[in-house]
Amino acid sequence: MVADLYNKTILSLAGNIARTERLDAPDATVFLDSPLCGSRITVDLKMTGDKVSDYGAEVKACALGQAASAVMAKHVVGQSSAALRQLAKDMRAMLKEKAPPPGGIWAELEVLQPVADYKARHGSVMLPFEAVVRAIDEIEAQRKTADASDAPDASNVSDGKSQPASATDDHGRAR
């Protein structure tokens, strides 16, 4: 029943989204939309190590997407990339396979269980979870690129057979 989707708890969450200010210097920014319902989200994320250190989002979504975003905003800071990836998997399973909702600090997401019966609404609910995971992926990719560029260039690494510069002529031949 559609009334289950828009209950008091969902409407209360939707009306109380924290961290709606965009970040000045995020490590990554991700924009996602759900074409089926028109919901969209822009997530700014900062990470220290493998944990989220700051989060900001601009949410233009239905009450369901707003409720999911509200729970994300409450708990995302301090969470590890692995925990957030698992959360996204758990939410997807809850919606698509009617698996149990996430527990612990994410137990509030249980209120979104009725959405499983409304496939057209899955995209809106998943927006904050998918956006956060994509932002984490971007940050990790940037770090790998930076780490690779910091690695010594193989052409400059001595093989132990090189001769001192004074032992070669102008053409690099041994004297």
Sequence ranges of the domains in the chain: 2-141
- Provide the terminal-to-terminal Cα distance of the chain, rounded to the nearest Å: 89
CB atoms within 10 A of CB 163: 11
Q: What is the rounded distance in angstroms from the CA atom of residue 157 to the CA atom of residue 89?
A: 43
pLDDT tens digit sequence for 5-37 = 788 999 999 988 988 889 999 999 999 999 888
**Is the model's pLDDT at 4 over the cut of 60?**
yes
Q: What is the rounded distance in angstroms from the CA atom of residue 118 to the CA atom of residue 28?
A: 31
The pLDDT, as a whole number, for residue 152 is 66
The pLDDT, as a whole number, for residue 37 is 82
pLDDT tens digit sequence for 93-146 = 999 999 999 999 999 999 999 999 999 999 999 999 999 999 999 999 999 988
CB atoms within 10 A of CB 47: 20
Instruction: Give me the architecture of the 2-141 domain, per CATH.
Output: Alpha-Beta Complex (3.90)
pLDDT tens digit sequence for 39-71 = 999 999 999 999 999 999 999 999 999 999 999
pTM above 0.85, yes or no: no
Q: How many residues does the chain have?
A: 175
The pLDDT, as a whole number, for residue 153 is 59
DSSP for residue 145: H
Confidence of residue 149 (pLDDT cuts 50, 70, 90): confident
Q: What is the rounded distance in angstroms from the CA atom of residue 46 to the CA atom of residue 56?
A: 9
Arithmetic mean of pLDDT, 160-168: 45
- The rounded percent of the chain whose pLDDT value lies above 70 is 83
* 104 CB-near residues (< 8 Å, 6+ apart): none
Segment holding 84, helix H or strand E: helix 81-97
